[in-house]
Amino acid sequence: MMNIAVAQSGGPTCAINASLVGVFCESLKVAEIDAIFGSINGIEGMIENHLVDLKTMILSNNDMDLLRQTPSTVLGSCRYKLPDWKEDPSDYEKIAATLKQRNIGAFLYIGGNDSMDTVNKLSEYFAEIGLDVKVIGIPKTIDNDLCVTDHTPGFGSAAKYVATTMHEITRDSIVYSIPSVTIVEIMGRHAGWLTASSAVLHAMGETAPHLVYVPEVKFSLEGFLGDVRQEMSKHKAVIIAVSEGIEVPEGVQSGVVDNFGHKYLSGIGKYLEDVIRSEIGCKVRSIELNVMQRCSSHLGSKTDIDEAEAIGAAGVRCALAGQTGKVMVFRRIEDIPYTVTIETADASQIANKEKFLPKNYINSAGNNIRNFALNYFLPLIQGDLNLVKEHGIPKHFAIHESVLK
Amino acid sequence: MMNIAVAQSGGPTCAINASLVGVFCESLKVAEIDAIFGSINGIEGMIENHLVDLKTMILSNNDMDLLRQTPSTVLGSCRYKLPDWKEDPSDYEKIAATLKQRNIGAFLYIGGNDSMDTVNKLSEYFAEIGLDVKVIGIPKTIDNDLCVTDHTPGFGSAAKYVATTMHEITRDSIVYSIPSVTIVEIMGRHAGWLTASSAVLHAMGETAPHLVYVPEVKFSLEGFLGDVRQEMSKHKAVIIAVSEGIEVPEGVQSGVVDNFGHKYLSGIGKYLEDVIRSEIGCKVRSIELNVMQRCSSHLGSKTDIDEAEAIGAAGVRCALAGQTGKVMVFRRIEDIPYTVTIETADASQIANKEKFLPKNYINSAGNNIRNFALNYFLPLIQGDLNLVKEHGIPKHFAIHESVLK
């Protein structure tokens, strides 16, 4: 008999709790697994031995249904970066102590490429000290920027939010008789996946978004203004999707840096709004989709949520098969009918690396997405959750805030 | 036989096209009504004789279903304010010419309190010149600030968006182990109805929003900082709902003024974020719900959409009964079971007036909403639309942008 532990890390998505359900349900099925521990606030809970017994928290099928439709991380999150264990093993020693004390034989870490760095380091450290604990990464991120995997859980729901909302913003933008420009700022520091997903509106016959700017293409203000003027000659209301991560002149980004060295970006949309107002002088507004694009689980993609659960369950099976230092990944077999398999990759192939939008997804002008690329995005946003509601709004699973410290 | 005309005006909501469907369907049933004209861009279309024959545009039950789930104004909108006809009758003469040429016997104007000013002025002018055209106002606004009526079509869907999104933002905000403040800026220039609707989360057992600031209460920065500090002593993640219209020190508002003399407000949330960062120094972020709160028809309230259609239909019956210069209103009979009737009010009672949040809805500290007031909000957000989808996202009805000029 052994116990198992799971933690959630990084920025919220709509699918992280579904992966938790996958880990939990699969573990329940395995006779050799006894307790299923949830680590509070990601790896911090492992360091501080702050774990909850998930069997006392998730009590029914109803609880699992609620978890599947609850955004963010029910166990809390962290952005804590483990140091190199060769230089400072203190965190690792504490984690090893927690694992031994709790008789934990496998640790599943649900997170982005920073968390996969943790998976990689921990598996190396355990090999070094001869501790038999399997470490498996379960991917998640709305940014869809993890290498090897076809896509990441959380991305499909975020893309569905972006497409649905861009569609509604398009209706909202077209009503007045005067020409206007609407700029929608979408998350994505270095990779334009989520911004590009707004182009699925083209499959519905919409001309919007008329312009799409992603970080993979060098941004030029002059080119931008030329593009906007050209689209304004064709459309009364021009709708623009712009990634928060496009590089604009110095001084626009706030420059605040988080623990992983990421810059907090904001205000690109507002900046471009000001540029258009001063250079073109038309009615213009900017809209930041902000955290809604990562937490709007009422718009969750069933494909995404189901896959998130399946990849969590597959992680448990992978650990039980004796693998460690691995990340579960999707391999796409076909777009139509959409078919994926779940496989494994070495965490070192994914940790601290980013996957960018393929160059051929972007049109030759560098300001929109090619139609054939929609075949990549469309399957990921299909299907809706059968949401449990209370008082007319979707119900959430929540552990008491005191448990999260 | 006579014809009828309908127009849509003001800022978009999720329910304006449902009211159009109500007008259209009711008119189809009446033997004495022949053509049903839609005026493009509100009253501007009446002035410029730019009308479309709705029977050539809305061709099937499917089209009507799509219209019910399409946000914004399918006929375009305007913010054009008619001058006083005694001073400058030129617009009125053009409108009268359009009505005569098209043999229009009734004009229904779907809009907010500015549009009800138009209803009032037109009915006065037609009486003066002896033109027998009935003018009826159909209310709409997410602001819910129209007098006499219990509530306005469009508000329920916006409130459902605000409540659902605040719920999800709450989950998103609570994940990290460090204390934080999240400020959510909600529309409402002078009235706090929509901001107050965020408090329906309390009915679900949520402590968030922990603080709610509405324009009806004089805002003090010192009081605000005291409130935030107190809530931070009780909750790790403090969630604040703030109306765009609260009065903060000079220089924050942009000062740009629209045709009706309204100030365009923005940046209140950002301003308070900066205040908290400098005065308290904790992790803080602000989120503007922006146009999504008025156009997110994927979250439409069935109660709201059904009522919007019903009040549009009632407007047609009112005109046929010979009334003019009237606005259709809801009177609430009971909260539980929720019961409303549709009645009429004089447009002069509603034009250019605003209805504020009742003082007793606001707690004594002036920083939250009392629980009993939730009985007002809850019935308005109940029920979901059975959305027609394409490619995984809700389909919209849209006339070609060239029709809207």
At B251, is the pLDDT very low, low, confident or very high (cuts 50, 70, 90)?
low
Q: A380 and A387 in contact (C-beta within 8 Å)?
A: no
- Minimum mean pLDDT among A5-19, A250-264, A352-366: which range? A250-264
Classify residue B389 by its DSSP letter.
E
Best mutation target, A176, A187, A271, to test chain B (most B CBs within 10 A): A176
How high is the ipTM of this complex? 0.95
**Of B76, B160, B176, which has the smallest distance from its Cβ to A392's Cβ?**
B160
Tell me which residues of chain A, numbers 192 to 251, contact chain B at a CB-CB cutoff of 8 Å: 200, 203-204, 207, 235-237
d(CA B347, CA A365): 53
Q: Average pLDDT of chain B? A: 94
Q: What is the average per-residue pLDDT within B159-185? A: 96
Measured from the Cβ of residue B247, the count of other Cβ atoms closer than 10 Å reads 13
- Do the chains contact at A167 and B70, CB–CB below 8 Å? no
pLDDT surpassing 80 at residue B405: no
Rounded alpha-carbon distances, angstroms, from residue B112 to B88, B115, B118, B120, B380? 23, 5, 10, 12, 18
- Do the chains contact at A391 and B404, CB–CB below 8 Å? no
pLDDT at position A402, please? 66
The contacts of residue B10 (CB under 8 Å, 6+ apart) are: B42, B77, B79, B111, B112, B114, B115, B140, B141
Q: Average pLDDT of chain A? A: 94
- Do the chains contact at A381 and B393, CB–CB below 8 Å? yes
Tell me which residues of chain A, numbers 24 to 83, contact chain B at a CB-CB cutoff of 8 Å: 41, 44, 70-73, 76-79
- Cβ-based contacts of A391 with chain B (< 8 Å): 200, 203-204, 378, 381-382
Structure tokens at B35: 């053509």
- Cβ-based contacts of B294 with chain A (< 8 Å): 172
Q: What angle do CA B245, B249, B252 make, to 5 degrees?
A: 65
At B267, is the pLDDT very low, low, confident or very high (cuts 50, 70, 90)?
confident
At A259, is the pLDDT very low, low, confident or very high (cuts 50, 70, 90)?
very low
Using DSSP, how many helices (H) and how many strands (E) does chain B show? 12, 13
**Of B294, B381, B392, which has the smallest distance from its Cβ to A160's Cβ?**
B392
- Cβ-based contacts of A290 with chain B (< 8 Å): 287-288
* Residue of chain B whose alpha carbon sits nearest to that of A72: B172
Active site positions of A, annotated: 143
Active site positions of B, annotated: 143
d(CA A152, CA A150): 7
- Do the chains contact at B204 and A235, CB–CB below 8 Å? no
* pLDDT more than 90, % of chain A: 90
- Do the chains contact at B204 and A171, CB–CB below 8 Å? no
3-state SS, residue A211: strand
Pick B257 or A51 by higher pLDDT: A51
HSE-up of B168 (CA within 13 Å, CB side)?
A: 26
pLDDT surpassing 70 at residue B255: no
For B203-237, how does the pLDDT look when each residue is reduced to its tens digit (9 = 90+)? Answer: 999 999 999 999 999 999 999 999 999 999 999 99
- Cβ-based contacts of B164 with chain A (< 8 Å): 298, 393-394
For B173-186, how does the pLDDT look when each residue is reduced to its tens digit (9 = 90+)? Answer: 998 889 999 999 99
Q: What is the average per-residue pLDDT within B54-66? A: 96
**Of A70, A175, A390, which has the smallest distance from its Cβ to B76's Cβ?**
A175
Q: What is the average per-residue pLDDT within A82-104? A: 97
At A248, is the pLDDT very low, low, confident or very high (cuts 50, 70, 90)?
confident
Calculate helix-pair angle for A155-173, A302-320, nearest 10 degrees. Answer: 170
- Cβ-based contacts of A264 with chain B (< 8 Å): none
Q: A109 and A115 in contact (C-beta within 8 Å)?
A: yes
At A264, is the pLDDT very low, low, confident or very high (cuts 50, 70, 90)?
very low
- Cβ-based contacts of B301 with chain A (< 8 Å): 392
For B104-145, how does the pLDDT look when each residue is reduced to its tens digit (9 = 90+)? Answer: 999 999 999 899 999 999 999 999 999 999 999 999 999 999
For A65-92, how does the pLDDT look when each residue is reduced to its tens digit (9 = 90+)? Answer: 999 999 999 999 998 889 999 999 999 9
Q: Where are the beta strands (DSSP E) in B73-156?
A: 104-111, 134-139
**Of B72, B289, B299, which has the smallest distance from its Cβ to A298's Cβ?**
B299
pLDDT at position A152, please? 98
d(CA A221, CA A227): 10
Q: Where are the beta strands (DSSP E) in A22-124?
A: 33-39, 51-53, 104-111
State how far Cα B236 lies from the chain centre: 34
Q: A243 and A158 in contact (C-beta within 8 Å)?
A: no
For B315-340, how does the pLDDT look when each residue is reduced to its tens digit (9 = 90+)? Answer: 999 999 999 999 999 999 999 999 99
At A177, is the pLDDT very low, low, confident or very high (cuts 50, 70, 90)?
confident
Q: Put residue A352 in one of left, alpha, beta given phi > 0 → left and psi -120 to 50 → alpha.
A: left
For B295-312, how does the pLDDT look when each residue is reduced to its tens digit (9 = 90+)? Answer: 999 999 999 999 999 999
Sheet holding B283-288, edge to edge: B211-213, B237-243, B180-186, B283-288
Tell me which residues of chain B, numbers 327 to 366, contact chain A at a CB-CB cutoff of 8 Å: none
At B402, is the pLDDT very low, low, confident or very high (cuts 50, 70, 90)?
low
At A399, is the pLDDT very low, low, confident or very high (cuts 50, 70, 90)?
confident
- Is the pTM of the predicted complex or chain greater than 0.90? yes
- Do the chains contact at A72 and B288, CB–CB below 8 Å? no
At A256, is the pLDDT very low, low, confident or very high (cuts 50, 70, 90)?
very low
- Computed from CA positions of residues B192, B197, B198, B200, in that sequence, does the dihedral angle turn out positive or negative? positive
Q: What is the average per-residue pLDDT within A240-250? A: 89
- Cβ-based contacts of B111 with chain A (< 8 Å): none
At B238, is the pLDDT very low, low, confident or very high (cuts 50, 70, 90)?
very high
Residue A309, amino acid? E
B114 touches chain A (CB under 8 A): no
d(CA B329, CA B342): 6
